[in-house]
């Protein structure tokens, strides 16, 4: 297949046998909270937001990063689930919600994770921090390193618990990114967030996420509350293969944060859908390569490409593939060669990088000369 010198364009209309498209997307529901955000977990598309970049106190939503940091230490082999740690007096003395650990008594990392996730135990958070990093202060530094690596631009942690501290703050947008990373990177650990209860030391405590007993599709994530932060909830649900993540901050009550989260999730599932447009490492198009051992090169995407759009309008998506002009060998696998632009009714939906799916080395001198001559003629 040959391409013009300047660039190659292909426009196609994606066909679908779905029903009639919705006339319009209504405004998100009125929630009466300080800030909120709703995203699709696979595409990252924002479906609804209000004050999403406002700095807020995260309270126990901090524990999402605590769990992520512990999960990363488990993945690296730095610690193990069966490791036992002796509870320090500092961990035992933590205020607020507790797992009810015994000072100077052993407890496993697995038990601490259950206590931290399900019971929101501040004592469990500190015990985990001390086991991973020696001190909570050192652990907070690692938390902040993860935050920076994730691109959390308005987040900082001073402790592992979320207890009030002027140096602990975040935004609804950053929390959605954090929750998305936890679900993606550590699905086995994330599964603990859906457990309805946990008993330790003879004390049974229910999961504080009221969404779990209310919505069968809900499986996380975490609640938080202090007097200054209000009632907060990062929620997530999966229906028919589509996962949404919601963040609600500064609600007036426990029931209010649950209702607001449910309203956001229902809004997202009612009016939007997400589909895989391209599979990872599958050719989207074959490009012409000049001066190479091969004259053709498969071009595609590095990862599965998910696109979110108004429900019922898949057949209206317009995809334009644009490739670089005069692709010349050598070409490295993974080299950026263009993009796929998705539009709906003339408005951009997504822009997807297209890359070389394999390498192409330089061809023989004779072959290169022939291609050079052809380019001169063109």
pLDDT for 364: 86
pTM of the model: 0.89
59 in the same domain as 207: yes
Has 255 been annotated as catalytic?
A: no
102 in the same domain as 215: yes
139 in the same domain as 205: yes
| pLDDT bucket at 372, cuts 50 / 70 / 90 | confident
Which residues 6+ apart lie within 8 Å of 51 measured at CB?
34, 35, 36, 172
Predicted confidence (pLDDT) per residue in 92-122, tens digit? 999 999 999 999 999 999 999 999 999 999 9
187 in the same domain as 330: no
Has 63 been annotated as catalytic?
A: yes
Q: Assess contact for 25 and 310: CB atoms under 8 A.
A: yes
Given the residues 43, 60, 133, 160, the one annotated as active site:
60
- Look at residues 244, 339, 252 and name the one whose alpha carbon lies nearest to residue 32: 252
| pLDDT bucket at 368, cuts 50 / 70 / 90 | confident
**pLDDT of 22 higher than 60:** no
pLDDT for 373: 81
pLDDT for 268: 98
CATH at 283:
2.60.410.10
300 in the same domain as 196: no
Three-state SS for 314? helix
pLDDT for 198: 98
Has 120 been annotated as catalytic?
A: yes
pLDDT for 98: 97
pLDDT for 360: 92
DSSP lists the bridge partners of residue 291 as none
Q: How much is the average pLDDT of 352-370?
A: 87
Answer yes or no: is 45 within a domain: no
Structure tokens at 171: 């935004």
Q: How many domains does the chain have?
A: 2
Give the percent of the chain with pLDDT over 90: 85
Q: Is the peptide bond before 135 cis (omega within 30 degrees of 0)?
A: no
Question: What is the average pLDDT score of the chain?
Answer: 91
pLDDT for 365: 80
Given the residues 43, 88, 120, 133, the one annotated as active site:
120
CB atoms within 10 A of CB 69: 24
Which domain covers residue 358, as residue numbers?
8-18+276-377
Q: Assess contact for 292 and 362: CB atoms under 8 A.
A: yes
pLDDT for 312: 92
Q: What is the C-alpha separation between 187 and 189, in angstroms, rounded?
A: 6
Given the residues 43, 63, 97, 176, the one annotated as active site:
63
**pLDDT of 2 higher than 90:** no
pLDDT for 15: 32
Predicted confidence (pLDDT) per residue in 287-332, tens digit? 999 888 999 999 999 999 999 999 999 999 999 999 988 899 899 9
């Amino acid at each position: 297949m040959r391409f013009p010198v300047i660039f190659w364009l292909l426009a196609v209309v994606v066909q679908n046998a779905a029903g009639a498209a919705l006339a319009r997307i209504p405004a998100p529901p009125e929630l009466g909270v300080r800030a909120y955000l709703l995203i699709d977990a696979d595409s990252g598309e924002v479906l609804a937001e209000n004050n999403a970049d406002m700095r807020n106190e995260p309270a126990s939503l901090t524990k999402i990063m605590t769990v992520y940091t512990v999960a990363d230490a488990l993945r690296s082999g730095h610690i193990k689930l069966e490791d036992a740690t002796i509870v320090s007096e500092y961990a035992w003395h933590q205020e607020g919600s507790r797992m009810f650990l015994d000072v100077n008594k052993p407890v496993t990392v697995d038990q601490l994770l259950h206590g931290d996730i399900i019971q929101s135990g501040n004592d469990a958070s500190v015990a985990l921090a001390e086991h991973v990093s020696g001190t909570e202060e050192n652990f907070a530094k690692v938390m902040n390193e993860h935050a920076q690596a994730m691109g959390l631009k308005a987040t900082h942690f001073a402790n592992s618990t979320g207890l009030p501290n002027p140096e602990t703050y975040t935004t609804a947008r950053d929390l959605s990114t954090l929750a998305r990373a936890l679900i993606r990177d550590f699905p086995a650990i994330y599964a603990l967030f859906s457990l309805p209860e946990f008993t330790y030391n003879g004390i049974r405590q229910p999961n504080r996420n009221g969404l779990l007993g209310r919505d069968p599709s809900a499986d996380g994530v975490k609640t938080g509350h202090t007097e200054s932060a209000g009632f907060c909830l990062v929620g997530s649900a999966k229906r028919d293969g589509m996962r949404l993540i919601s963040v609600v901050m500064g609600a007036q009550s426990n029931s209010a944060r649950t209702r607001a989260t449910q309203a956001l999730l229902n809004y997202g599932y009612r009016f939007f859908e997400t589909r895989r447009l391209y599979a990872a490492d599958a050719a989207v198009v074959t490009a012409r390569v000049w001066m190479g051992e091969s004259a053709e090169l498969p071009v595609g995407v590095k990862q599965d490409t998910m696109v979110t759009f108004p429900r019922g309008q898949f057949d209206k998506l317009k995809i334009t593939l644009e490739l670089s002009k005069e692709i010349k060998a050598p070409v490295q696998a993974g080299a950026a060669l263009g993009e796929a632009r998705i539009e709906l009714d003339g408005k951009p939906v997504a822009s997807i990088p297209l890359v070389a799916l394999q390498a192409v080395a330089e061809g023989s001198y004779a072959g290169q000369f022939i291609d050079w001559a052809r380019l001169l003629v063109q």
